Structure formats: C-alpha cells, structure tokens
Structure 1
Amino acid sequence: MKILDRYILTSFLKTFFSVFIILMFIFVLQTIWLYIGELAGKDLDVEVIMKFLLYFSPKLVPLVLPLTILLTSIMTFGTFAENYEFAAMKSSGISLQRAMRSLTFFILFVSLVAFFFANNVIPAAEFKSINLRKNIAQLKPAMAITEGVFNDIGTFNIKVEDKSGENDQYLTDVIIHQKTSNGGNYTVIKAKEGELAGSTDSDVLSLILKEGNYYDEIQPSDYEKRKKKPFTKSYFDEYVINIDLSDFNNVDLEDESTTSYHGMLKISELDESIDSFSVSYNTRMDQFRKDMYRRTGVTTLSTNFRPRDTVIAFEEGLLSHFNTYDGAQITNLALGTINSAVAHLAMKEQEFRVNIKQINKFEIALHEKYVLAVACIVLFFVGAPLGAIIRKGGIGLPIVVAILLFLTYHFIGIFAKNSAEDGSVSAFVATWLSTWIMLPLGIYLTYRATTDQGLFAFDNFIEPLKKLFKKAGLFKDKSKTE
C-alpha cells in the first residue's frame, strides 16, 4: 500500500470509529429511554439490564452504520478539500477516483461484513432480545398496571382510570373481570377507589376496593333459562382481593420459546417461511372461493330445476307466483343467506389481510439484509464527493448535511415499508426505494466532483434566461455596447 493510500485510509478510519461509537452510544441511550417502562420496577440485576442492551444493540447497526459512513465520508473528504490536500493531489496527477481507491475497497469489505452481520448476528440477537423482553414483562406484574387499559394479572383483568400516591398505590374507577378455568368471564367487580397493599418483593398482592358493586352472572343448567341472562348483584363498602403472584414472579429469564418472529430468521429461513406462507395462503384462498361459490346455491340448481316448469316472464317477477306468506319466507331466507355471506366475506377479508401483512413483513425482512450492504456503498459515493465539493470538514456543516441526507433516506424507507405491509406497494420496491433514490445522487455528485464542478450548474439555468431576455430586448450585452 502506498503512503497516500495509507494516509487516506488512516484518516478515514479514525473518524469512522469515533463517529460509530458516538452514534451507537446515542442510539443505545434512546433505547433505554424507549424501554425504561419495561425495565423499571422489575427488581432486575445489572447483569440482566446489560444483557438486554447487548441483545438490542445489533438491531441498531442497520441504522447507525449507513449514517456513520455518510457522515465520515463528508467529514474526511471535506477536510482534505478544505486543507487543499486534494489540490496538491491533483497537481501531482492524482485524480479523485485514485484517491478514493483504498476507501472503496474498505467500503466493499464493510458492506460484506454488514451483510454477514445482518444475516447471522442480528437474527440471533433479535431472538435473544424478544425472548428476554417477554420474560421481563412477566416479572412483577403488580407494578405494570397501566392506566386506561385492561391489565392481565393472574386470574384477573384489571383496569383503572387513574393512579396516584408516592408509589402509585391509590387507584380510582377500578373495573375487574375475573377469569374462570374454562375461559369464561362471569364475574365483574366495579369500585370507585382501590389501594394496592404489600411489598413489591411479596408474592401476594392485596387489592383493597372501596364503595363498589359485585356482579356475578349465573349459569343455570337449563339452557332456556340462560337466555334470560340471570345475575346477582351485591354492594360493598370494602372488599379485599388477594392475588397470588408466585407463579408470575418465578420467571425463567433464559426461556427462549418464541421462535417465529421474522426478525429472528436468516435468508434461507425467510425464503422457506415465505414459500410456506404463500402456499398456505393460496390454498386457503382457493378453498374460500369454492366455499363462497357453494354458498350461492348454484351447484344445487340442477337438483331443484325442472325444464318443463312454467316459464316465468321477467316483468312478472318470481315472487308474484307465490302467496304472500311464502313470498315473505323466500325473501327472508334470501336476505339471511346474503347477510350471512357478506358477514363471512368480511371476516375472511380481515383474515386474509392479516396473512398478506405477515407475508409482506417476511419479504421486507429478507430484502433488508441485502439493502444494508448496498446502502453502505451508495452512501459512501454520496458522502465522499459531496465532502470534496462543499470543501468543509470538522463537525459543523458536514453533520448538518449528513443528517438531512440520512433523514431523507431513512424516512423514505420507513414510509415505503409501512405502505408495503398492507400491500399498497411491493415489498421489493418499498425496501429498495430509498437506495434507488440515493444511487443517481451518488453518480451525479461523483461526476461533479471528478470534473471539478460545483454542487449545482447554475449557468445551465441562467444562460437560457439570458438568451430569452436578449431576444425580448430586456437584456443588453455590455461587451457589444462598449
């Protein structure tokens, strides 16, 4: 390796690793902020918290690495241009492409490592993080009563309107649904106020309810009496419920039973899952078509139809040949059949929409592994020539430009992927769209920097306007007048 290549590569690597560490630290802090609600109040060891952050960090690499390459390229090449080092290289006959050669090989190597990382490390870390989050969520459920929603705690579903007190132990407008062993929900308890009593380390949570009602739906053995929906109602001034949390606090944080999430799979596994889901979806869709066709009754027309029956004129209508009662019966039966078919169709439509969304998520996850590698190369050829053009290094203007470009790249990708989940856009197009947009920009900037031109060719816009004004007599050429 020549001295120049070593110097450029060394300058790039110093900035690259510094920027990567800083950005990773910032995004890890953001992760702590986002998931603080899942970690707080769980009495977790520092080891578990560090393990959670370690498992979640690889998921940040597809976000941090492209931004690092873009920012480092602008800063490094901007510094070279600002210090007239590029001018010295060009005076020695060294072009911009020659100066970028060592970094090009390095970026290709980084892209290959990124692809390997996305296909192997990220799925393994995603597998660990999701299972750990699931296990942490089961710890200390008494501390996880969220306002305004039903919280599943033991054999109860608890909803509170508001929490107050130093430890959020005082509750208002409490609604409790008690579950049964067969899955029914026949008991409802409502209270104006409630209080959580007991230590956070205790396996028993005492819920003291005040000024409420107890509703218990009765299930008679006679099914005719069940139609009347009988229930008992009682009023209480104070009612205490003891909830056993021993089974919930005894959680194995090493449990790894969740394996079906699309982020956990490699390329080969994603291909297999997509094929499996697609075959299953097409089979169920074909069966649904046959069922709906069968529900129309067309298949039974030949059984009930007699060719020698009286021909009915279209103007007379079919119901005119029946008495009022039979006509009403036929109409009600037809309406019931149609309403049932419409309800069944709506239910299946929602089911198929969920299936399509699931398949699209797996396809997006598949393409994202390739996009990360290509994005590293494309953003390098955007940042490097852009830094040479703006001729500004350091952490001022390059950071602003890099963030604006990356936010544009990132948000286009997010909006496209969200549209692809419901099938509005192809998963392939949505995943590659932001990279396709950046590719022409990289080619354009590389051409401008190679030919020593500015960021924009303003003369291409100004000259046609000057010619137009000359023809109109609004602009005089000073050289001719002199």
Structure 2
Amino acid sequence: MFIFIFQTIWLFIDDFAGKGLDIMIIGKFFFYMMPSLTEKVLPLTVLLASILTFGTFAENYEFAAMKASGISLQRAMLSLIIFMVFLGGVTFYFANNVIPASEQKIYNMRRNIAKVKPAAAIEKGVFSDFEGMSIKVDDKYGEKDRFLKNVIIHQKTATNVNSTVIKAKTGELISSEDSELIQLVLKDGHYYRDVIDKNSDSKRKYPFAKSKFDIYRMNIEVPEMEQDLEEENVSNREKMKNVSRLLKDMDSLEQDNKRIVTAFSKNIVNRMGAFSKIPRIDSAVVKKVQQRTRDTAKTLELTNSSTTTDTVPEEFSGDIMDLFKEYQQGQIINAAKNSVSNIMTSIDGKKIEMDKRYEIHRRHIFSLHDKYALALSCIILFFVGAPLGAIIRKGGIGLPMVVAILLFLVYYFLGVFAENYSYKGNIHPILGAWLSSMIMLPLGIYLTQRATADRGMMSFGGGFDRIKKLFKKKNKDEEQ
C-alpha cells in the first residue's frame, strides 16, 4: 500500500502542487484513495505472502517433517484455504460497499474544493483552465486566496476561437457551499470582444466591441456530476455503484439503447420511404375497380383509332430513368444524392452517440463482474503462490520477491489490456473482467499438482545433460 500510495502521489502531483491546499485535505484525499488501491494491492499481497511463507517452510524442511508425520500438502494448506475463502468474501464486500463509497468521497471532495476554494484551480503566473475559460493572475492573497491581482481572461467560442479578452487590475472570487454559483468580481479593467456577423460584407470590416469598466461581475456555475470532469465521469461513475445499482442501471441502459436505436431506425426508414406497409383493400372495392377498368378498356378499344395515350407498356424491362425526360433525370439523381448524403450524415452522428452509450453499458458490465473476479483472484493467486513457494524452496525477500512481482505484472497487465479492449468493444466485458483470473487458474492447478507430487518446475541439470548429449552425438557423427 505504501508503494502504491507513492505512485498515486506522482499521478496527482499536478492537481495539488502550488494550489495552496491544506495538508489535511491532501491527507484525506489519499486516505479515500486507499480502498481503490486495494484492487492492485490485495492480489499482490496474497501472492507474495504465500510464496514467502511456503518458501520458508520448504527451505527449513518443514514440509519434509510434515510428510514424515503423514501430513500431506493439502492438509497443511487446509486452514489457509479456509482463511482465503473467508478473505475472498471480505474482498467482495469491500469491492461492493467500501470502494464505491470511497469513489463518491473523492468526487465530492474535488467538487467541494472547486466550490469552497475555487482559487485552487488557478496557478500564479500561468494560464489555467477555469470553468470553460483560460485565466492568468500575477498573485493570489487573502483568505482562501480569494483576492487576485492583474487578471487576464481569455474566453473562447464553441469553435475554440479566442473571441473575448478581459483585463483587470484586481479580482475577487466569491463562493459558498450553499450556492451552486461562483462569482468572479473584476475591478478597474478593460473588455474586448470580436463581433461575429453573418453578413460577409460586415465580416471584412472586422467589427469589435471595446469598453472600460470599474466593476464587472461574472457568474460561473459549478458543474453538476454529469458535466464535471467529463472523461473521468465516463470511467468512474460505474465505480461508485454496488452490485444492485449496477444491475438496475445496466437494465435501464440496455432498454434505453434499444429504444433509441429502434426510434432512429424507424425515422431513417420513413425518410427513405422503404418497407412501407401496403394498406388492406376491401374485396368489394376491388371488384368495383376491376369492373370500371374493364369498362374503360372497352371504351379505349372503340376510340383507339382516334385517340393516342402516353402510357407505360404493360411489360417494361428497361431502365426506370428512361421513363423521364433528360432534365428530370438530372433533378432526380441530384435529389437522390442529397437524400443519401443527409441520411449518411445522420447515421454517422448517431453512431458516435451510440458508441458512447454502448461504452457506458460495457463499463457497467465490466465493473459488475470485476467485483466477483477480484474476490476470486485472491483465492486463485494463493493456489499459485503457495505451491510455487514449496517448489522453489526459497524464503526471504530475494528470489520469492522477484517471482511474485513477475507473476503479478503478468496478471496486472493482462487485466489492464483486457479492461481497455472490453471498454472499446473489442472483447466482451465479461471476458475482459475474468481474463487474467482465467489465465492464472490453470497455472495454479498445474503448480498445485507439481507441489503435491513433490516435483519441481523443471530440472536445469537434466536440461544441461540433454544439451551435452546432443552435442556429443553431433561430434560423433562428424568424426564418422
């Protein structure tokens, strides 16, 4: 835990350095981070402890004494197996209740820092992103660093173009826990903004607005949960939920996705005019129409010599475009191209939206199964580490530590790659959650069988002897 805490400090050093935060706030943040780190710490701890313990037993010939007394390896491991099963249950409870609560605490703390101490997001002497704008101050002072000196603000449009510049000699940030707004009060400054005009002739004149102010107030809304830290929102929201909440949200997400896809599909089909249903016609109406058709045909036969009709032949096998005039064909083709282009644009936009929705659903599935996989991984890694320690017959911090770290790195990176692939939909989220445990399970079964039969992993001496025999055979063949 100590090692992983230091890793977390390096990851979040930019969020806390130079922000004027109290040591108690930083300490609380890392305390709330500790439950989330148990997902990495606990499997490594179980693996290392089992290798060290059983390696020390084997090195001191404790297993030889047990076997001489008629105690098998399984019987020697029985009490620890029971303990590991109990530890797996505690781990699942921890992952289902404690970790979601700690994630919620971390989120609330970061949000409260933004509300109570908004100046913490502003660094002195550099431009900082602050609630949708870039702000630079020369100095911060006063209670909670609320007073600012020499403020420069750049506001950008939706197209990420810098259109507004505000300069002020002093500023003040006013906020409270009860309010969802942060008020930035600027004093003695200038305001400049580029005026965007739709008229092309006016654009060439580059219109702008400029003013001087004594006091200028800006009301900034603190983002809600769905908007705060957008990237983190997608990846962390599912980690704030327990199993029952995940199951409920998974069902609602799946239903919403089906509803959106179905509605969009019907809209596209209606726009294309395809698969339209043929209305049912009453048989009596059909008979009347047929009778009228016969009467009309007879009339046409009588007047055929003096009347010409511009009708389509009964059996037409040519191109349907030949039925229209040349200028009409061009209009029809252009209309079809525009219709297809509009439909494809709508489909591409909806695809991007649905990819995000499907990713959120996959993250919920992965988070649900990851809770069970974490509990079972402790048991599996125990059956990897315990027989491995009995096989290598080494205790202490040397070789067992190296072997444990190597095995853990394999387990950890398999889990990271599987998690990323499952988020993107390359593999199923259930497979991604269980992949590292599924790979370690056969290794644990194999090592347990080898340790029970009192056989090592491999005989290096026998391997060298075989290589020597091969070289001897080659030399004899060459001499012959």
Q: TM-score range by the shorter chain?
A: 0.7 to 0.9
Q: Which residue of 2 aligns with 1:27?
A: 4
Q: CA deviation at 1:80?
A: 1.6
Name which of structure 1's ranges 98-107 and 363-372 shifts more when overlaid on structure 2.
98-107
Q: Which has the larger radius of gyration?
A: 2
Q: CA deviation at 1:228?
A: 6.4
Aligned mates of 1:144, 1:241 — CA distance in 2: 25
Please, what is the CA RMSD of the aligned residues? 4.5
**Of 124, 127, 151, the match for 2:129:** 151
Q: CA deviation at 1:196?
A: 8.1
Aligned: 1:189 with 2:164:
yes
Aligned mates of 1:346, 1:354 — CA distance in 2: 13
Aligned mates of 1:247, 1:171 — CA distance in 2: 16
**Of 50, 57, 69, the match for 1:80:** 57
Q: What does 1:256-405 correspond to in 2, within 5 Å? A: 261-299=237-275, 309-310=312-313, 317-405=319-407
Aligned mates of 1:242, 1:448 — CA distance in 2: 80
- Letter in structure 1 aligned against 2:164: I
Q: CA deviation at 1:466?
A: 9.6
Q: Which residue of 2 aligns with 1:415?
A: 417
Aligned mates of 1:74, 1:208 — CA distance in 2: 69
| TM-score of the pair, normalised by structure 1 | 0.73
Which stretches in structure 1 are left out of the alignment for 5+ residues?
1-23, 220-224, 477-482
Aligned mates of 1:391, 1:209 — CA distance in 2: 76
- Letter in structure 1 aligned against 2:59: E
Q: CA deviation at 1:295?
A: 1.9
- Letter in structure 2 aligned against 1:122: I
Aligned mates of 2:215, 2:405 — CA distance in 1: 54
Q: CA deviation at 1:402?
A: 0.8
**Of 28, 41, 44, the match for 1:51:** 28
Aligned residue pairs, count: 424
In structure 2, relative to structure 1, the CA distance for the partners of 1:273 and 1:231 (3 Å cut) is farther
Q: Which residue of 1 aligns with 2:89?
A: 112
Identity within the alignment, % = 40
Aligned mates of 1:57, 1:424 — CA distance in 2: 31
Q: Which residue of 1 aligns with 2:78?
A: 101
- 1:38–1:136: 8 Å Cα contact kept in structure 2? no
- Letter in structure 1 aligned against 2:360: Q
- 1:142–1:205: 8 Å Cα contact kept in structure 2? no
Q: CA deviation at 1:113?
A: 0.5
In structure 2, relative to structure 1, the CA distance for the partners of 1:197 and 1:320 (3 Å cut) is same
Q: CA deviation at 1:151?
A: 2.6
Q: Which residue of 1 aligns with 2:290?
A: none
Q: Which residue of 2 aligns with 1:126?
A: 103
- Letter in structure 1 aligned against 2:240: M
Q: Which residue of 1 aligns with 2:457?
A: 455
Aligned: 1:176 with 2:155:
yes
Q: CA deviation at 1:46?
A: 3.8
In structure 2, relative to structure 1, the CA distance for the partners of 1:159 and 1:445 (3 Å cut) is same
Q: Which residue of 2 aligns with 1:445?
A: 447
Q: Deviations over 1:181-227 (max 9, x none)?
A: xxx99981369xx89866899975769999x97412358xxxxx699
Q: Deviations over 1:254-305 (max 9, x none)?
A: x9xx9992111111111111111111212222222222222222256979xx
Q: Deviations over 1:67-102 (max 9, x none)?
A: 100011111111122222222222222222222122
- Letter in structure 2 aligned against 1:108: V
In structure 2, relative to structure 1, the CA distance for the partners of 1:465 and 1:241 (3 Å cut) is farther
Aligned mates of 1:454, 1:92 — CA distance in 2: 22
- 2:135–2:151: 8 Å Cα contact kept in structure 1? no
Q: CA deviation at 1:230?
A: 8.2
Q: CA deviation at 1:32?
A: 2.6
Aligned mates of 1:43, 1:246 — CA distance in 2: 23
**Of 217, 222, 227, the match for 2:196:** 217
| TM-score of the pair, normalised by structure 2 | 0.73
